[in-house]
Amino acid sequence: MSYTAYLRSIKSELQRTDKTQKSLRVKTIIEQFGYQRRSQSFIDNFNTALGELGLCANPCLDLYIPLDTKIAISIKGVEPINKVAESESISGKLQEAISVKHDFFYYLFDFGSEQEYERFQACLDSHQPVGIFLIPQVEDFFSD
């Protein structure tokens, strides 16, 4: 596969999927073009093809970069989305208190009455130890 054909496929994938970058290992890039080792001519041709197609690589491919290094290929001028800022706004929303009528214990166990549930909640709120015994109501493979 030629340099430009492979890089065009990466560029079209980035445009089609709205991703900002595609990460590939140096070893994968070299193998994709049929090489086994890095050479200065390969690196020059690769970097020239990147520039001609309006792509950039971070970090830049050179002779001394380790083979297992991931290189992010992206379209020039397209800034990566700041996922940290998005996650901070989401985590801020998650920390807001949500009012619920009952917790999952109410639906998980059959307390028999509202008073039993309130007593159970009082034990949890006061950090007292609570023993929960699970007694199957029908025969199953855990029962003798």
Burial class (CB in 10 A: 0-12, 13-18, 19+), 130: exposed
Q: What are the residues facing 25 on neighbouring strands?
A: 70
Q: How far apart are CA 78 and CA 64, in angstroms?
A: 27
Domain locations along the chain: 3-75, 99-135
First to last CA, the chain: 65
Q: Which amino acid would we find at residue 134?
A: L
Burial class (CB in 10 A: 0-12, 13-18, 19+), 20: middle
Per-residue pLDDT of the chain (144 residues; tens, 9 = 90+): 566 788 888 888 888 887 888 888 988 888 888 888 888 888 888 888 888 888 888 888 888 888 888 999 888 876 655 555 566 666 666 667 667 676 777 777 777 888 888 888 888 888 877 777 777 667 666 555
